[in-house]
């Protein structure tokens, strides 16, 4: 859906943009629910689903940087990119050491929800006082940082657990 999201943004079709974002997020939730409910979770799905989510969020944050041209959204985008790079490297190390891919945790899911809601707020309420988007973006930054900390902690524990068993 990313190309259509970009297309609708640059055409100024905000209603279509909102619908595409909501459909994208909703389909991700439904897909995950179906996979878990019907025991169809796979290692490939656990690896590819977050990549699609991150690419969608990266696209949305880039579009918001283009739209707002503000320092807070650019800081959020930068922190998001650094976080995803670190988590990508950590994820590869965990897969190599444990042979397992792990699903997202509740903090990661909550962070995704906060990011989506913030982007939707920025699109829907374009004449909102400047303080509100900055507060929302600040909340996003806090969630992204907490998410990185929680995932890093979990990944270190997983790697140490495997290292202990090898000795």
- pLDDT score of 37: 87
Distance CA 91, CA 102 (A): 9
167 pLDDT more than 70? no
Give the tens place of pLDDT for each residue, 86-143. 999 999 999 999 988 888 899 999 999 999 999 999 999 988 888 999 999 999 999 9
State the pTM of this model. 0.90
| Number of neighbours of residue 69 by Cβ within 10 angstroms | 9
7 pLDDT more than 80? yes
45 pLDDT more than 80? no
- Kindly list the domain boundaries of the chain, sorted by start residue: 2-166
- pLDDT score of 48: 81
């Amino acid at each position: 859906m990313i190309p259509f999201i970009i297309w609708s943004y640059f055409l100024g079709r905000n209603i279509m943009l909102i619908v595409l974002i909501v459909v994208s997020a909703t389909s991700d939730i439904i897909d995950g629910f179906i996979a878990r409910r019907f025991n169809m979770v796979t290692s490939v799905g656990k690896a590819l689903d977050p990549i699609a989510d991150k690419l969608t969020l990266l696209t949305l944050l880039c579009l918001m940087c283009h739209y707002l041209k503000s320092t807070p959204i650019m800081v959020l985008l930068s922190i998001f990119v650094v976080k995803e790079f670190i988590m990508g490297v950590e994820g590869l190390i965990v897969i190599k050491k444990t042979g397992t891919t792990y699903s997202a945790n509740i903090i990661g899911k909550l962070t995704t929800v906060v990011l989506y809601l913030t982007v939707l707020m920025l699109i829907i309420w374009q004449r909102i006082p400047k303080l509100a988007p900055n507060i929302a973006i600040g909340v996003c930054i806090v969630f992204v940082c907490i998410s990185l900390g929680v995932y890093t902690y979990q990944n270190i524990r997983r790697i140490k657990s495997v290292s202990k068993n090898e000795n």
